[in-house]
Structure 1
Amino acid sequence: MTVKTRFAPSPTGFLHVGGARTALYSWLYARNQGGQFVLRIEDTDLERSTQEAIDAILEGMEWLGLNWEEGPYYQTKRFDRYNQLIDQLLEEGKAYKCYCSKERVDALREQQMANGEKARYDGHCRDGNHDHAEDAPYVVRFKNPTEGKVVFDDHVRGRIEIDNKELDDLIIRRTDGAPTYNFCVVVDDWDMGITQVVRGEDHINNTPRQINIYHALGAPVPEFAHVSMILGDDGAKLSKRHGAVSVMQYRDDGYLQEALLNYLVRLGWSHGDQEIFSLDEMVQLFSLKAINKSASAFNTDKLLWLNQHYMKSLPAERVAEELKWHFEDQGIDMTNGPALTDLIPVMAERCQTLKELAASSRYFYEDFAEFDAGAAKKHLRPVAQEALALAQAKLAALTEWNAEAIHRCIQETADELELGMGKVGMPLRVAVTGAGQSPSLDQTILLIGQARSVDRIGKAVEFVASRANS
């Protein structure tokens, strides 16, 4: 039997980290088992589903690299199939028309809750004992068994048993003729040959209802794995302030796909104490049984740590693919400066996101109008003028432009003037970058380039001279 899993989001919002983790787990299990992965868009909520959300889900899945063999399927294009099977259940006496008004059902539930009872439909129309006009509106309800139990072995939760008497007769077709979520899901998983359903624990209450529908249709029941929710690091339900934002927002904020996938896989799954996983390792090692039962806490600091790890360890060509977008987004012209592949090894040690790396690298590509006031006040003083001028002359005279030659110029300047390296290096750093922080000075000057570095040092000399004369 071919393993088939699916990810079936509702397009009522963007793809967020919770959905992305579910998609990843489903995708990994299919890959681990040599199976297939299906993408399905569950858009039966016509009022809340939007094309914008569908586009965002597809974009997020593609950015994460979670490719699918089948789909995307859309439930709204399968209404004929659902209604055909609902009519079949009506004919077989496994479903029935319910003419109860919304007011009656609401009043019933209010009374049940007031009595401390579980709110549920009372089966008033179950046996056809109802009076109604010929054209009265109705819903179709599934005739849930009243005896016995629903029993299933969840890959994460273990054995789960629910008494059928705890389940009421759920609506499977609304008054407007539209089939409902719980029925559509069953038909889809059956028709698409889904063997394992990985989804959030909020669906556990739906599972016994759906299992009874599988049985009524004579369909095979897939296996289930219900994963725990993701909490914020403060223990509260994950919200936007914790990171429950669109997956594409992580791209925009400068996270690498590899880092987010690595973070998500560990957000509820483990393999010993290992923290860093390549995608190949995830596929090789993943199992549903190793998913944790307890809720996971989102930790932005850990995600940042992982992101920096991948910025430093991935091939610079791969990081540059993503970094280029951030340079363009921030309006930095890359034509006059170092290759991104040369910049990344130097700057990745100092930045945790690609967005930060791009913002911190502007001086490599663009000249600045003025020096940082604090750095200039501290380092571009009259005593620095001689060192700046001498270093400028030595750098201008270089015939080989490499880090070793640049370092030698700086060292010779310090030696000739009998100054400590800091007395030479810090004024030079402010001169070429406009501020007081940068990677190693020889690497910084190397990447800025000879002509631009010499020119900037000259402007610093002029700045110091004007300051001395003021």
Structure 2
Amino acid sequence: MSHLVRVRFAPSPTGPLHLGGLRTALYNYLFAKKHRGTFILRIEDTDKKRFVSNSESYILETLKWCRIEPDEGVGYGGPYSPYYQSKRGNIYHYYINKLLKKGKAYYAFDTDYDLNIKRKEYKKRGLTFSYNYRNRIELNNSLTMTKEELHNKLQSCSSYVIRFRVEPGEILKMHDIIRGNIIVYTNELDDKILLKSNGMATYHLANTIDDHIMKITHVLRGEEWLPSMSLHILLYKAFGWSIPNFAHLPLILRKDGKGKISKRNVDSLDFPIFPIQWKVPDTGIIIPGYRELGYFTESFVNMLALLGWNPGVKKEIFSLQELIHLFSLERIKKSGVFFDIKKANWFNKKYLNKKQEEIFSFLCKELKKRSILHKYKEDYLWKVIHIIIDRIHFVHEVWNHSFYFFIPPNSFEKNFLKKIIHKNIIDRLENEKIVISNVNVFTSVNLKFLFQNNKKRKIIMQLFRLALVGVLKGVDIFIIFEMLGKKESIQRIEKLIKEIKKKI
């Protein structure tokens, strides 16, 4: 494929990017880099009613965190500036005048009131009203006026929109790289608005013009834009421009089967959908993203890439460079893909082993906070990390899984403690304390051998765990014994004995 591949990611600044939007950006980036092309960021901000002020900075920060920064566009500059649709109005007006002159577009003066009456009339007859070739000749537009009438109408400053004139009777044959050949009959299409009554171009017009001017070769976007593909191709044809390649990406679906993930249903989801945290402008509420929850950039991007694309190999862990090398549009699925947070956690765990220096640093900070870092040699800290690393998915989980290697319990699990408030438990702990005291070589192997045939092994192990950890969790109890050493282990058992005596 030519090195002249040019793709664009064109979000609207109407809130934070969610997983679906970011995956679109990622696929555009991977495709561009695979073919040594250009990845462009364009802000499609023609819908001023839905504009959210901090959206643009959020988009830029997200792309930066994911390490999929654009080569050109908003925040990066380039030969086709400005990259904001709201600043390109003169360009759109120039091109829409061309369509008007060619008879490919027309003025429509129908008010909302007029159109609502038509809709109600059609509804009564069991039909759906559509502003199309069948109805436009009966409506208030320039197709039903003489040149003089149109001139007078425009001079009177009457409100209008400009609509695209769809020619009936055409079989529109289209091709989507992911979905294959698609046929649409123009008789089924309505005359979409290209220029709104406020003079702003609609997405359809602005997007088509910008893609042509910016020499976009491949349009990779979400499946929700598939119904608009026919209009966009008709616009290209009306202008006499070459048509780019289209690829419509599958939806990311909720695991519970309740449709696609969306910013609108963020509150009802049990997993995050934003890559980085989002501060809601009106309320100041902060919604954490994957970055703040402890996911590594590499694992997050790896997970996102495989959410709808199959690399064609058995392995699942890929660096960004490997993803670029393997990526192809032909291996993207047609059907929607389910998002599974457990799989996202699995990816993060896979990258954790490569991040042991970060785990070490985090653990040191936790110990420093408690003013006990000086008590432990570096070698001991690394041993702890190697013991517990298989139990964690995130760096920040290291303390919750290792605290008992550094500090004795301040309290004991209440429910289990209630069950063991008996004198015979104290006697048993005193006896086991003597047994442990007599072990000369205090290793996990020797301790395990010592207790392997004990008939009361289960309750003894639970008592030991409560004494050493404070709760009935943690790694192999004999490894904990060895790491703590004989003196510290006995002190913790004595502390539990005192606690039971207090409760009796």
TM-score (normalizing by structure 2): 0.76
In 2, are the aligned partners of 1:126 and 1:143 still within 8 Å (CA)?
A: no
Q: Report matched runs for 1:22-37 at 5 Å.
A: 22-37=24-39
Q: How much does 1:242 deviate? A: 5.8
* Equivalent residue letter for 2:273: V
CA distance in structure 2 between the partners assigned to 1:126 and 1:189 by the alignment: 29
Write out per-residue CA displacement over residues 428-453 of structure 1, whole angstroms, 9 at most, x where no aligned residue. 54334322211244665787x77xx9
Please say which of residues 100-109 and 289-298 is displaced more in the overlay.
Answer: 100-109
Match of 2:68 in 1: 66
* Equivalent residue letter for 1:17: L
Match of 1:276 in 2: 316
* Equivalent residue letter for 1:333: K
Match of 2:330 in 1: 289
Q: Partner of 1:15: helix, strand, or coil?
A: coil
Give the one of 270, 275, 289 matched to 1:247.
275
Residue identity (%): 28
1:47–1:393 CA distance, 2 compared to 1 (3 A): farther
Give the one of 106, 112, 124 matched to 1:96.
106
Match of 1:154 in 2: 176
1:86 and 2:114 correspond:
no
CA distance in structure 2 between the partners assigned to 1:385 and 1:55 by the alignment: 63
In 1, are the aligned partners of 2:444 and 2:482 still within 8 Å (CA)?
A: no
Match of 1:10 in 2: 12
Q: How much does 1:101 deviate? A: 1.0
Q: CA RMSD in A?
A: 3.9
Please say which of residues 35-44 and 418-427 is displaced more in the overlay.
Answer: 418-427
CA distance in structure 1 between the partners assigned to 2:62 and 2:364 by the alignment: 21
Match of 1:257 in 2: 297
Match of 2:78 in 1: none
Q: How much does 1:155 deviate? A: 0.6
Give the one of 125, 130, 133 matched to 1:119.
130
Match of 1:462 in 2: 495
Q: Report matched runs for 1:206-221 at 5 Å.
A: 206-221=228-243
Q: Partner of 1:209: helix, strand, or coil?
A: helix
Structure 1 unpaired stretches of 5+: 396-403
CA distance in structure 2 between the partners assigned to 1:284 and 1:52 by the alignment: 34
In 2, are the aligned partners of 1:171 and 1:180 still within 8 Å (CA)?
A: yes
Q: Partner of 2:50: helix, strand, or coil?
A: coil
1:430 and 2:466 correspond:
yes
* Equivalent residue letter for 1:120: Y
1:349 and 2:385 correspond:
no
1:193 and 2:215 correspond:
yes
Write out per-residue CA displacement over residues 91-149 of structure 1, whole angstroms, 9 at most, x where no aligned residue. 44433322111112233334345442462343341425167471211112233334523
Q: How much does 1:203 deviate? A: 0.5
1:462–1:157 CA distance, 2 compared to 1 (3 A): closer
Structure 2 unpaired stretches of 5+: 75-82, 277-288
In 2, are the aligned partners of 1:410 and 1:425 still within 8 Å (CA)?
A: no
In 2, are the aligned partners of 1:253 and 1:354 still within 8 Å (CA)?
A: no
Q: How much does 1:182 deviate? A: 0.9
Please say which of residues 374-383 and 163-172 is displaced more in the overlay.
Answer: 374-383
Q: How much does 1:181 deviate? A: 0.8
Q: Partner of 1:199: helix, strand, or coil?
A: strand
Match of 2:159 in 1: 137
1:373–1:209 CA distance, 2 compared to 1 (3 A): same
Match of 1:399 in 2: none
Match of 1:398 in 2: none
1:182 and 2:193 correspond:
no
Match of 1:333 in 2: 369
* Equivalent residue letter for 2:52: T
In 1, are the aligned partners of 2:391 and 2:401 still within 8 Å (CA)?
A: no
In 2, are the aligned partners of 1:242 and 1:298 still within 8 Å (CA)?
A: no
